[in-house]
Structure 1
Amino acid sequence: MNPELLKEQFPILNQEINGHPLVYLDNAATSQKPRAVIDAVKQYYEWENSNVHRGVHTLGSRATEAYEGAREKVARFIGAPDSSQIIFTRGTTTALNIVASSYGPANVGVGDEIVITEMEHHSNLIPWQQLAIRTGATLKYIPMQPDGHIELQDAEETITSQTKIVAINYVSNVLGVVNPVKEIAAIAHRHGAVIVVDGAQSTPHMKIDVKDLDCDFYALSGHKMCAPTGIGVLYGKKELLDAMEPIEFGGEMINDVGLYESTWKELPWKFEGGTPIIAGAVGLGAAVDFLESVGMDAIAEHERQLAAYAMDRLSGIEGITLYGPKDRKVGLVTFNLDDIHPHDVATVLDSFGVAVRAGHHCCQPLMRWLKASATARASFYLYNTEADVDRLVDGLIQTKEYFA
């Protein structure tokens, strides 16, 4: 793959910020959108816009075909056995909340355990925290090693016969850690627990096979993988989804409505009440096509090399603190610079056209574990280059001089 040529397919990257060519290094927050995705959404609104499933006219048929076609693409992209296991949601947050609010109360009670880690994004922490409060279950945390990675022995010692749910991110949005979810899934299953995987930071950057991982639930967001905002996916094993009750009620998700009781449609539609996010799904399908044309293995290798280059270059800056394992496989670097607040670092970098994220990254417990109130984060994607890293390093050196 050629990141310079790929960059040309992203219109937003062809601009100047504060008089400098834009270097976009905030991809863990949201990725930019290629022309193919923008055109697909435009095509839908200009030629196919209609509600899905309900109409027999031509536009309704086109919209339904595009919407359900996107579901088929996503199923193939993550290795789901059947497209009925793909539930369209607003994003990872909604997907995780569906599991916590539907599967959780029916399967977790007093004395049971929910196991997570301190590196979880708030979206994969608060739902389980609230479930534990509502049900009287115990929330437990797998210990982390000093550099932030998890040892399987610690997972073995934390997950017990009382554990009902293990929820963990595949990739940390702060540490860049790739967690051993396949091995943790095996541990969970030996104890009769299910595993819920937050795939927001993994799906855009590596090949995913939910069958190989043997995860029970997997959540992802489209906007982090070149698709529009407001569209995401919940994958679940069919027997689990079949047994779950919907948590949102209204049109489209019903089979029959009486005056005093109703019945639900089959999967996946019982979880998709109301008019769905049709244009978002169309855009997600186009994003899947785009990423597959580039190749997920090629993207993963490019990011691995770029992260190694970034870690090497950044480690040469005096006064910088780098968080997470030095040897990582995803394109994400989190750091602090001397005693300069991360927001000030990000502001100065922006004056040079370099966009990074600053704050607690929706990971306040992890910030406390790191003994930092906030950090700065540079995150890379398929269109970033070593020259972008060089711009980041030059900007940080100038930031040091500015605050000297």
Structure 2
Amino acid sequence: MAGHPLARTAAVVGAGLAGLLVAWAGDLDRLDSSPAYLLLASTLLAVGLVGSTRDVSLAEVRAHLSTVLLAVTVGVIAKAALIAGVMFLAFHDPAALVLGVAVAQIDPLAVAAMSRPDRTSPRARSILSIWASFDDPVTVLVTVYFSAVALDLRGGGSGSAPGLLGDRPVDLLLGLGANLALAAVAGLLWWALRAAGLREGSPAGPRTRATLRWTAVALLVVLVLFAAWQFLMLGLAIAGLFFRPRLGPVVGRSTQAAYLVATFLLGLLLVRGVHVREGLLLGLAAVAAHLLVSLPISRGLPAADRRYLAWGQQNGLTAVILALVLERNFPGTVGVVAVAIIVINSIHALATVLLDRRSAATPPDVDAGLPRAREVPPTRTLEPDR
């Protein structure tokens, strides 16, 4: 999937169709009720989460802390709440809460597409990158807790929700403690590896550094599998901010492979049918919510930047995997989210084409009379030991 965007799209569509054909050929009605299914879906989510958090530059976070806070609060939580509110008012079903959260994040493909220098300014690209990097882990966490609330409102109890959740405040605290414990263990392991010679400039010899690097990779795999098993996504997200052994193209390929496997599973479950009305409303609500929350985040940017950021909603790996995870407790989620993803991505593609045409037809000095945002000097990105 590393080639042309059309090739990537064809691969994803092919994986979904393959899953649909397999489901038609066999009896897979109880697929999502098996423990192996939830473990696989959680593992795919953990892989995608690690890929997302590795893109977060700590130096950039420190330089643009206010933007980070806006991206995490307004850009993720407020947007998720808006979408969930629309869905709940329309269908009066607590399950609508988790549907809204599942599509609240921005897919990295949208970031790559809009981060071309001929489309947006350096500051807009920085905001979009921060927004997309932080919204995946935050969306995962909000989905977990919203699912507990939705199950409780349904009267089914929240104990069966993904993760260490229950219907008592102490259960939430225990779940938070388990996540923080995982992050603490990862921190100690990373400190020990760097102290042993993994860090840059270490006097350790090449063979020792190679051994430590492979040890770090093995420990990262263990962390991912353990987090998937216990659904400790907050702890894994925190660990991903600093536990970064040198992996080269492995991260990108692993994320792409996870996307294909997730789409195959999505095809398996789509045999139960799709929900066009609910999916259409969910997709439109997600686009409208993104338009609203982009206003405070893009404030002070040139008009062209604000337009591209406003139409930047697009879904991919995280939305697909969250739908798979939620299908077990909320049957029909996959049929709704699949339609919503098509609606959202189609609107994004059309809006991008129209914005490109507008930019090409607009004279360069069209915004000359508007006040320009102060350019933030480029920050030195601290390269992690990948």
TM-score by length of 2: 0.28
Greater helix share, structure number:
2
The structure whose residues are more often strand, as a share, is 1
Q: Specify which structure has the bigger relative contact order, considering alpha-carbon pairs within 8 angstroms and separated by 6 or more residues.
A: 2
TM-score (norm 1): 0.27
